[in-house]
């Protein structure tokens, strides 16, 4: 019997007032200024968004938290992929337009 994997995608749009916030860094050792997308991505890896937006972070069937496995950058957003363990998924069900739009043309 195949294990059921819970996966969640979150798109954070850049160029908004939310993404332009000044994110507090846990390790401010970098000398070069980071871009807006880089700051937001680093805040995600540091776990800051889970504290700011706890209602959007899902849990699996057992009630355990999902883990951030991957962050994908795009032109105007970043995509967060959360799951209890990485598994393949059908691109047609993704909320990332770069994933599902090519699949629509095959129908």
What is the per-residue pLDDT across 92-102, written as a single tens digit (0 to 9) for each?
777 888 776 65
Which residue bears the tokens 């939310």?
18
Overall average pLDDT of the 22-42 stretch: 71
Task: Look over the chain and give the mean of its residue pLDDT values, rounded to a whole number.
Answer: 77
- At 44, is the secondary structure helix, strand, or coil? helix
Q: What are phi and psi of 48, to 5 degrees?
A: -70, -35
pLDDT for the residue numbered 102: 58
Query: Each residue of 33-85: pLDDT tens digit?
Result: 677 888 888 888 888 878 888 888 777 777 778 888 889 888 889 988 888 87
Residue 104 has pLDDT above 70, yes or no: no
């Amino acid at each position: 019997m195949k294990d059921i994997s819970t996966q969640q995608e979150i798109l954070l749009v850049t160029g908004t007032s939310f993404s332009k916030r000044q994110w507090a860094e846990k390790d401010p050792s970098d000398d070069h200024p980071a871009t807006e997308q880089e700051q937001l991505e680093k805040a995600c890896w540091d776990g800051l968004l889970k504290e700011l937006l706890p209602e959007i972070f899902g849990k699996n069937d057992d009630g355990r938290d999902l883990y951030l496995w991957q962050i994908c950058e795009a032109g105007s957003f970043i995509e967060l992929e959360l799951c209890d363990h990485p598994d393949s998924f059908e691109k047609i069900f993704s909320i990332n337009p770069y994933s599902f739009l090519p699949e629509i043309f095959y129908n």
